[in-house]
């Protein structure tokens, strides 16, 4: 019986730090819900939803965007990205470091990081009928 209690004590001692780490990880998960605004620095070719058409190829564009993150469950989030020309649904996740971001809209890909709880840096890209690459710093507006 003495060996049973010793084994039980050892098991509990090893499990305690695991439970603490899990609670700390959950507490460190950033809450992204709200409205994030920024102005893109974009280079593109072709006709793209959020950018004015033009003759130059490639051409430069700057567009005001809002990302409205409407829901979040753990690492997963969803919402819309909008400009004066239109909007699209987005889905995304927060990386395991609780800072990196990966997201998709209907035709493109975003990745970046959280600089702080109210600043997000994202690089957007898509190709197909048009090719678009953009860098945007978003600030939380809530």
Tens of pLDDT along 6-38?
Answer: 554 555 555 444 444 444 455 589 999 999 999
Question: Do residues 52 and 20 share a domain?
Answer: no
What is the rounded average pLDDT of the residues 114-140?
95
Q: DSSP label at 51? A: S
Question: Do residues 24 and 43 share a domain?
Answer: no
User: Domain residues for 26?
Assistant: 1-30
Pairwise pLDDT comparison (48 vs 29), residue with the higher score = 29
- What lies within 8 Å, CB to CB, of 87 at 6+ separation is 80, 81
- What lies within 8 Å, CB to CB, of 35 at 6+ separation is 66, 67, 68, 69, 140, 141, 142
Question: Do residues 92 and 82 share a domain?
Answer: yes
Question: Do residues 88 and 113 share a domain?
Answer: yes
Question: Do residues 60 and 112 share a domain?
Answer: yes
Question: Do residues 114 and 49 share a domain?
Answer: yes
Question: Do residues 75 and 85 share a domain?
Answer: yes
First to last CA, the chain: 59
Round to whole Å and give the CA distance between 119 and 10: 44
pLDDT value at 66 more than 80: yes
| pLDDT level of residue 53 (50, 70, 90 thresholds) | confident
Question: Do residues 96 and 36 share a domain?
Answer: yes
* pTM for this model (two decimals): 0.78
| pLDDT level of residue 136 (50, 70, 90 thresholds) | very high
Question: Do residues 11 and 66 share a domain?
Answer: no
pLDDT value at 81 more than 60: yes
Question: Do residues 19 and 36 share a domain?
Answer: no
Nearest in space to 64 (alpha carbons), one of 36, 88, 89, 43: 36
What is the rounded average pLDDT of the residues 48-72?
89
- What lies within 8 Å, CB to CB, of 51 at 6+ separation is 42, 44, 61, 63, 85, 132
């Amino acid at each position: 019986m003495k060996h049973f209690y010793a084994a039980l004590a050892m098991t509990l001692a090893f499990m305690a730090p695991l439970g603490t780490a899990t609670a700390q990880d959950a507490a460190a998960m950033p809450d992204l819900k709200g409205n994030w605004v920024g102005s893109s620095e974009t280079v593109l070719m072709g006709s793209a939803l959020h950018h004015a058409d033009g003759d130059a190829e490639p051409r430069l564009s700057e567009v005001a965007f809002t990302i409205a993150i409407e829901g979040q469950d753990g690492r997963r989030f969803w919402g819309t990205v909008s400009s004066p020309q239109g909007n699209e649904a987005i889905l995304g996740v927060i990386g395991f470091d609780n800072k990196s971001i990966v997201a998709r809209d209907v035709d493109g890909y975003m990745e970046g990081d959280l600089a702080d709880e109210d600043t997000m840096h994202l690089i957007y890209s898509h190709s197909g009928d048009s090719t678009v690459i953009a860098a945007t710093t978003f600030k939380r507006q809530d």
